[in-house]
Amino acid sequence: SAPLKKLNDGTQIPQLGLGVFQMDDDEAHRATLAAFEAGYRHVDTAAIYRNEVGVGRAIAESGLARDEIFVTTKLWNKAQGRDNAREGITRSLEKLGLDHVDLYLIHWPCPAAGTYVETWEQMIDFRSEGLTRSIGVSNFLPEHLDTILDETGITPSVNQIELHPTFQPDDLLNHCSDLGVVIESWSPLGQASDLEHPEILRIAEATGATPAQVIIRWHLGRGFVTIPKSTNPERIRANFEALNVTLNSEQMEAIDGISAGNRIGPDPATVEP
């Protein structure tokens, strides 16, 4: 099973999970079941993915106890604010068929909307009420983290950000590390674009692991929580086997060195509801 990482509120998160971005309900249902069979105990969805129903069906059918699995979902941008956020989590829980999630995230800061602080205050309430065990953010830049910390005194447990070998935002990583915020990497494989990088291929060759396993192992070695996405049961299984791969320090450092500012998603400063 995946190693557990302790969050700043004492909750433990499995360091490797399944991401279900860009899957419909049926694909997410199949992928989540395949992941549970392969040994995953952590699944990461979001209201905007529109597949919480599929994920929830897989959870119900898995036969796994609720406290054996770790479920993350995210509040969509349009649902930010004092009045809307509660409806956001209520709908997500209904769709998932759960009475609580393990981690609830603000999906994007949307700084121009000016609502992320009041949304964070709501998140703090949701945790107190037991609707979620942990709370965090996604796509927050250092200034957004500092603002919610200054305004509320409560540090997010995680910041889930775009992070893969050719996109390593070092200032943000260092800032999160200073604050004790665990990093979760989304698109850990660079949406497959990093799989053919010559250094990744070289290390795959040397270790006998696949390029995806090499990259996943690198995330784990760096201490990140990571959520590679696949719809394919074989690749879902193979990605989990990254837990059995070993990289030496030369190989880890070689991957540290291929960062190239190769952002795939939007710049968080510019995303608006």
Distance CA 217, CA 57 (A): 30
CB of 85 to ligand A2P, least distance (A): 27
Distance CA 176, CA 262 (A): 20
* 107 known ligand binder: yes
1 forms bridges with which residues in the sheet? Answer: none
Residue whose CB is less far from ligand A2P, 174 or 232:
232
Residue whose CB is less far from ligand A2P, 145 or 204:
204
The catalytic residue among 40, 49, 104, 116 is 49
Residue whose CB is less far from ligand A2P, 109 or 190:
190
CB of 217 to ligand A2P, least distance (A): 12
Residue whose CB is less far from ligand A2P, 156 or 190:
190
C-alpha gyration radius of the chain: 18
Using CB under 6 A, list all residues that contact ligand A2P.
19, 187-192, 195, 210, 212, 228-232, 235, 238-239
CB of 163 to ligand A2P, least distance (A): 10
Residue whose CB is less far from ligand A2P, 132 or 210:
210
Task: At 105, give phi and psi (nearest 5°).
Answer: -120, 145
- Active-site annotation holds for 40: no
Task: At 138, give phi and psi (nearest 5°).
Answer: -140, 140
CB of 201 to ligand A2P, least distance (A): 13
- Asked if 11 and 102 touch (Cβ cutoff 8 Å), the reply is yes
What is the b/e burial string over 182-212, where b = at least 16 CB atoms within 10 angstroms of the residue's CB? bbbbbbbbbbeebbebebbeebbeebebbbb
Q: Which residues are annotated as a binding site?
A: 107
Q: Which residues are annotated as a binding site for substrate?
A: 107
Give me the active site residues, please: 49
